Amino acid sequence: MRGIYYSELMPKVSIARGGRVILPMALVAVLVVVSGCPKRAPARPEKPLGRSRVATTSLATYSTFTTDPNQDSVLYVFDWGDGQADTTGLLAPGETASASHQWPNVGSYSVRARAQDSKGYWSGWSEKLSVAVTVNHPPQPPLKPTHIGIDSVGKPIAFTTSATDEDGDSVRIRFFFSEGQVSGFSPKLASGTEHTDSVVYSQNGWKMVYAGATDGTDTSDWSAPDSIYILSPDVAPYAPAIRYEYTPRRGIANGPAYRFYASALDRYGDSLYYRWYFDGTDSITSGLFPSGVDGYVEWTPTGDTHSYTVSVRVFDVSGNTNPTTPVMVFRTVAEGEMLWGIPGEFYASPAIGPSLWRGDARTGIICGSADGYLCVVDAYQAFVINQLSILDPDAYNSSPAIGADGTRYVGNENGWLYAFGTDDSRDTFKWRFGNGLDGMTATAALAADGSVFCGGEDQQIHKLNSNGTKAWSYALRSWMASSPAIGPDNRIYCCDGSGHIYCLNRDGSLGWEVSVGHLVFITSSPAVASDGTVYVGTEDGRLLAIKDGSVAWSYEVPDWRPISSSPVLGPDGSIYFGCDDGRLYRIDRNTHQPVANWPVTVSVTDVISNTPLLCADDIVYVADDSSLYAFDVNDPGSGPRWRTILGVPFGKGTGGRLSLDNQPSPVVDQYGIVYIATSYGIFAVAGRPGGTLALTDWPMFHHDARHTGRFGAK
């Protein structure tokens, strides 16, 4: 600010001849007054006050003040010692002046100040303050917090800590309290000053409390934690609810362990356990589950068929219980009764394989749907675990084949064979193979070394490595609607639509081929016996037995009705297959004619193009378009043991066929439960106790419940 000088205050004067100056009378009076009050400059300001150690990243503030003998307003100039200076505005004498500065370079600098009054008089420079400018250091981690207060839910608890900064910077402190609670930063505190903040917990249990600090530029590490156990009031949890979406209503006696799910909340977050009662007497208590998380028990019913009244009660860790006990009914069913049904439209046969649900291994019923989803149903809990989706979805006409590690290989009409993993919390495939044009209609065959054999409308059969890369391809004469099989000699057998049956060596070379007639379409998949005989049906009504590259014998059904069903082999070597005449056949391998009392009529309206299922209790299962039938292989003439209608109450679907021509085939699990898909849905039906898969060379479609298509697979 520029000073005011007397010359600026003087009016114009007259100079008389002779050089004498003539002053106006008013100016004479002013001069008289001024000459009585001599002017003095402001006093030298105090030594600047502020930090003597500063980081290059910090903005530091300094202050000073001075007095003026004439009580004039004063301004201040701060010299920062680095060639820079800042000037304040006019302040009253004695009022503190402040200015801030940041030094970009490390070094030692002298800070001083001087003052100028409103009339332009300057003071001398103040005493210098030496400032060391260094690189910034973050604060040290705060001390481990300490606490005082009542360690219980709903009560405030105070935590105290402090933090130091080696640069002398002020610090701000915050706490991490657990339960997702984080305090705000405190106001600026001098280095080493204690800070206290409080929290109220809403849930019981152990809490870990940390503290952190910042100097405005850098942040410290977290402190060591203070641990504190929070007690909850002695209050019972809220009422439980049965989780019906995961809990079955039906089962079989002496079968799998069924899970019964319930869920409840505790207002203070206590862990909970559930006690389930069966008919009010037998009870099973679960382990501890977090509040709000589904808890369960496992229970295996025994004895005869029965309807159980099932109830559940919830307890917290202290034993407090809610008196509410929701009730359900669970019924064990008899042979031939429906256990569950999942609506949908399916052309493919289901397979049985592992599923990972909520990190837990479950038994899954796996089948591709007509709308392009790979459905996974919990076999015993009767709910859909997942519906795996794909881009550009089309119908799944081929059935899943399940590898030794649980990988699901399944072909789609969109032209790709997909490999899906077992983790049904994910919705992605591991790899795919194909051209995206020609449908993968054949169910893949899986070798013991992990190789995959597949094909379809591209008129080829491919050998893939376990990672989806191609090992070789073999060109067929027509597209492949049936599914390949792997024999006891590890060679691959397949058929095409031109009436040719092929035997391929493991290196992809041709072992032999047989023509069964010009343009005789084959949708039946081959079954291979231990002696190497290959059995297959043809669309011109013949069952063929091929040995060493030649037709050893054949059987012709009456009226040459097509055999789309794949043959299966009984323990005595008999060959079973369905026919488009609605009958189920059993052919003696020695006479090459039907066994006595065979064939049996299954349906007078529907064709039987699915593959029969042979079980160890001498029961054979077969289906038509609407029902599942059970026949006693030793007494077929008395008719089916039972018939279960499939699809009620879900309505009728479009009636698609596996591989465009076959009905889906049944599969059985270790408890004798039979699973089958139709154009109405997927269904589980109770079989006869102990009625597991027959131990024969080829007892069902594609050999086994995993549809490996491999002789000897288990």
Residue-wise pLDDT tens digits, 110-120: 999 999 999 99
* 146-230 under CATH 2.60.40.10, yes or no: yes
Say how far apart CA 666 and CA 677 lie, in whole Å: 7
Single-letter amino acid, residue 493: Y
What pLDDT is attached to residue 661? 52
What pLDDT is attached to residue 418? 96
Distances (CA, A) of 188 to 56, 163, 209, 213, 241: 19, 11, 21, 10, 51
What pLDDT is attached to residue 17? 33
Protein fold of 241-332? Immunoglobulin-like (2.60.40)
Place of tokens 């290989």: 409
Reported CATH class of domain 338-686: mainly beta
Say how far apart CA 285 and CA 275 lie, in whole Å: 4
**Nearest in space to 178 (alpha carbons), one of 247, 238, 229, 121:** 229
If you average pLDDT over residues 541-556, what whole number do you get?
96
Domain with CATH 2.60.40.10 in the chain: 146-230, 241-332
> Dihedrals φ, ψ of 30, to 5°?
-65, -45
If you average pLDDT over residues 394-414, what whole number do you get?
94
What pLDDT is attached to residue 169? 87
Residue-wise pLDDT tens digits, 300-347: 999 999 999 999 999 998 899 999 999 999 999 999 999 999 999 998
> For residue 241, what pLDDT band results from cuts at 50, 70 and 90?
very high
- Identify the DSSP state of 334: P
If you average pLDDT over residues 154-160, what whole number do you get?
93
Residue-wise pLDDT tens digits, 15-33: 333 333 334 433 333 333 3
**Nearest in space to 601 (alpha carbons), one of 619, 616, 622, 587:** 622
If you average pLDDT over residues 410-431, what whole number do you get?
92
> For residue 137, what pLDDT band results from cuts at 50, 70 and 90?
confident
What pLDDT is attached to residue 651? 39
82-86, 203-207, 580-584: least confidently modelled range: 203-207
Q: Which helix (H) or strand (E) holds 261?
A: strand 258-263
Domain with CATH 2.130.10.10 in the chain: 338-686
Q: Over 80: is that where the pLDDT of 393 sits?
A: yes
Q: Over 90: is that where the pLDDT of 207 sits?
A: yes
Residues 351/420, Cβ–Cβ less than 8 Å:
no
First to last CA, the chain: 100
Q: Over 80: is that where the pLDDT of 185 sits?
A: yes
Q: Over 60: is that where the pLDDT of 163 sits?
A: yes
Q: Over 60: is that where the pLDDT of 535 sits?
A: yes
The pair of three-digit structure tokens given for residue 622, joined into one six-digit string: 């077969």
What pLDDT is attached to residue 662? 66
Residue-wise pLDDT tens digits, 551-602: 999 999 998 899 999 999 999 999 999 999 999 999 999 999 999 999 999 9
pTM check: above 0.85: no
